[in-house]
Amino acid sequence: MQHHKSPIKRANVSFERPDQADVIALIEELDAYQDALYPAEARYALDVAALSRANVLFAVARTLSGEAIGCGAVVLRPEYGEVKRMYVQPDMRSSGAATQLLTALETAASEQGCRVLMLETGPYQIEALAFYRKQGYARCDPFGDYPAHELSVFMSKRISAEQSGPKLATTHNSPTVPADCAPADVLRRSKFVIEQLRVIEREADYSQLAETLIESVAGGGSISFMHPVSHEKAMAFWAEIAQGVVAGERILLVARDEDGHIVGTVQSVIDLPENQPHRADIAKMMVHPRARRQGVAESLMREIERLTFAAGKTLMVLDTETGAAASHLYAKLGWSVAGHIPDFALKPHGGFCSTTYMFKRAIGA
């Protein structure tokens, strides 16, 4: 049974042993969360024994009453430190504990002579990615022994360090940081990352969303537009969508490529008539032609499904061009066909196409 805690204004962070019962429980919560998101081959977790080594800084965040609510670690290597096992319980994430933990770890690593911190996380952990960006981390190429994998996002940050400070001894040799992983000149990024936009603020994002729409339609995407779509029309469409996102009427996801450019997007319309509070419409799935066949659409769909169900919806509905590539993806992801309507709409370049309506229920609904 889950016990909900009252938010706290500030946590107490200290460096402790990871083999305490309440800390082990935190690590098990983190493992369960990540196991639900990624297959075993994409998980690179450290166990309690590894976290107890001499070259590991391990911090715990506790409430004023002493209850463990978060943890994090830095593995000190000869050329860099690696952030591992960062976790704060979901109902405590507004407390600022994550920032306190990471700040404490960065300070301690700097005092040990560490100049660069690296980390590996996953594209489905949207909150974590946003948090690390806010803390000054930038995406980079794979480092150390990590393979390049579509379910891995690599980030790095340069931290100030006093070279006179002693370094903790390491227990094994570690590869050096790739030169292009230095935060000062990070340009290339690992594959793509899925991000939830709660507001569209950057003019570049508007332009890239507009380009994705224009090129998707030009490539034959049946998304309620006819080819050619003018830039002005596309920008006006996204301005209207932005209003619905801010109003909480829809969830908007984007996929960014290795340069941070938006190359895909999908929406979940969650504000429906009062007699359909349990339902959401999945809409405007589009991927820029240059980013297709890289798993972008599937990653977008998996995350929009997760967020929609997390919003309390138990039924999702969508429509797609009958026989199009998207319809096969939806079937692969467990969507059921409700029916087909012939000659439902015009294709972007002219000519009628049929539409297939599909649905998916939450497990247990």
pLDDT tens digits, residue range 277-333?
999 999 999 999 988 888 899 999 999 999 999 899 999 999 999 988 888 889 988
Q: How far is residue 9 CA from its own chain's centroid?
A: 26
Q: Residue 10: pLDDT above 70?
A: no
**Rounded mean pLDDT of 59-67?**
90
pTM here?
A: 0.51
Q: DSSP letter for 220, please.
A: T
Look at residue 172 in the predicted model and tell me its pLDDT. Answer: 27
Whether 193-361 and 12-185 are alike in CATH topology: the answer is yes
Domain spanning 12-185 has what CATH number?
3.40.630.30
Query: How confident is the model at residue 64, as a pLDDT?
Result: 85
Tell me which residue of 186, 205, 184, 207 sits closest to 196, measured CA to CA.
205
Which residues fall within 8 angstroms of residue 292, CB to CB, at 6 or more apart?
none
Q: What is the mean pLDDT of residues 240-257?
A: 94
pLDDT of residue 364: 61
Residue 184 banded pLDDT, cuts 50, 70, 90: very low
pLDDT value at 91 more than 80: yes
Q: Provide the residue ranges of all domains of the chain, joining segments of one domain with +.
A: 12-185, 193-361
pLDDT the model gives residue 131: 93
Query: What band does 6 get if pLDDT is binned at 50, 70 and 90?
Result: very low
Buried b / exposed e across 206-221, counting CB within 10 Å, b at 16+? bbbbbbbbbbbbebeb
**Matching CATH number, 193-361, of 3.90.1150.10, 3.40.630.30, 3.90.960.10, 1.10.760.10:** 3.40.630.30
pLDDT at 41 over 50: yes
* CA dihedral sign, ordered 213, 294, 360, 195: negative
| Alpha carbon distances (Å) from 112 to 57, 78, 272 | 10, 11, 55
Please say if the pLDDT value at position 166 is more than 50.
Answer: no
DSSP states along 156-191: EEE----TTSPPPPPSS--PPPPGGG-GGG----SS
Cβ(38)–Cβ(124) below 8 Å:
yes
pLDDT digits (tens, 9 = 90+) for 334-361: 999 999 999 999 999 999 999 999 999 9
Q: Between 16 and 171, whose confidence is greater?
A: 16
Confidence (pLDDT) at 160: 66
Mean pLDDT of the chain: 85
At residue 40 the predicted structure's pLDDT band, cuts being 50, 70 and 90, is confident
